[in-house]
Amino acid sequence: MSTEEQGTVPVAVIGSGNIGTDLMIKVLRHSPTLRMAAMAGIDPDSDGLARAARLKVATTHEGVEGLAKLPEFEDVRIVFDATSAKAHTRNAEVAREHGKLMIDLTPAALGPFVVPPVNLDDHLDADDVNMVTCGGQATVPVVAAVARVAPVAYGEIVASISSRSAGPGTRANIDEFTETTSEAIRTVGGAEAGKAIIVLNPADPPLVMRDTVYCLVEGAVDAGLQEEIADSVRRMAEDVRAYVPGYRLKQDVQFDPVENALVPGLGRRVTGVRVSVFLEVLGAGHYLPDYAGNLDIMTAAAVRTAETTAALRGWGKQS
């Protein structure tokens, strides 16, 4: 899709780094719904602002305050925040004051967690939604897929990403990553207890994002129920792949019996079945390298959230 064929719902991006620039490219080249109206940053020499200017997108290097002064901002419906948790507080205030929907890609989590194929419909009226983490976007759908078939006593995820795709923000927020993702495993995925681990892989050439999801299902799980769980996971993977084409199951869903296991976070022992799911996320390569699937799934989920919300709120060709 060329810039001349953009959609009709104007959006703005705050943050001119890798995430913000990838968002801009996705909107400009690949969204049938959204129209890129403005980009705000704080570094006048950033590649993101330079690219935006070349692509005829309004820019400012004065952050959210400068964005609010741009004439293009008046028509903006949706603002993506690709800055930092600290900056998000003020960014969200400005968006709210001007009646804009805020989609937050920072660890701030002031608004509800949203994972598009799982719970977007529950938060269509929210004015500030949070995209959890890259690990959350990749793995929470799997936990939810298992939980909609059988109760999940415990969910654990291990997200392995290339160290090259982990910028200063990711490295400075490892604790927030684990805490936020663990909470989303419970509150969005439906597990009774959850744990998240992130691994920065220094391999060269860089490896693509890989995730392992373990779900402990309590009680008897016969062959029929196992097939229901596996089918639910496969269907959820298809739902995610609709907006993240590089998302895939690496192998069949695995089932292993567990007897009298002490479950972290529950304080009791459980007998049942451990469901193991192995994932790979290859990035689309719009601006970020294709091995950076961890970053790509965040921007793709944010765009999906914006497009779906815009459609359901009636922001479309008539805007």
> Per the annotation, does 292 bind a ligand?
no
Question: Does residue 117 have a cis peptide bond before it, meaning omega lies within 30 degrees of 0?
Answer: no
> Per the annotation, does 167 bind a ligand?
yes
28 - beta bridge partners? none
> Per the annotation, does 313 bind a ligand?
no
Is 134 among the residues known to form the active site?
Answer: yes
Q: Let me know: does 92 contact 25? Beta carbons within 8 Å.
A: no
The 10 Å CB-count burial string (b at 16+, else e) for 274-302 is bbebbbbbbbbebbbbebbbbbbbbbbbb
- Placement of tokens 């390298």 in the chain: 289
User: Which residue type does 6 have?
Assistant: Q
> Per the annotation, does 299 bind a ligand?
no
> Per the annotation, does 165 bind a ligand?
yes
Judged on CB neighbours under 10 Å (0-12, 13-18, 19+), 47 is: middle
> Per the annotation, does 201 bind a ligand?
no
Dihedral of CA atoms 129, 233, 286, 69 in degrees, nearest 10, equals -10
> Per the annotation, does 230 bind a ligand?
no
> Per the annotation, does 172 bind a ligand?
yes
> Per the annotation, does 17 bind a ligand?
yes
Find the largest Cα–Cα distance for the chain: 63
Quickly list H helices, the chain.
18-30, 47-54, 63-69, 85-97, 116-119, 134-147, 168-172, 174-187, 223-241, 293-312
> Per the annotation, does 169 bind a ligand?
yes
> Per the annotation, does 168 bind a ligand?
yes
Q: In the structure encoding, which two tokens stand for residue 227, read together?
A: 């097939």
> Per the annotation, does 294 bind a ligand?
yes
> Per the annotation, does 171 bind a ligand?
yes
- Rounded distance, CA 252 to CA 160, Å? 19
Q: Which of 27, 68, 134, 215 is catalytic?
A: 134
> Per the annotation, does 38 bind a ligand?
no
Judged on CB neighbours under 10 Å (0-12, 13-18, 19+), 269 is: exposed
Annotated binding site for NAD(+): 16-19, 165-173, 294
Would you please indicate which residues are annotated as catalytic (active-site) residues?
134
Annotated binding site: 16-19, 165-173, 294
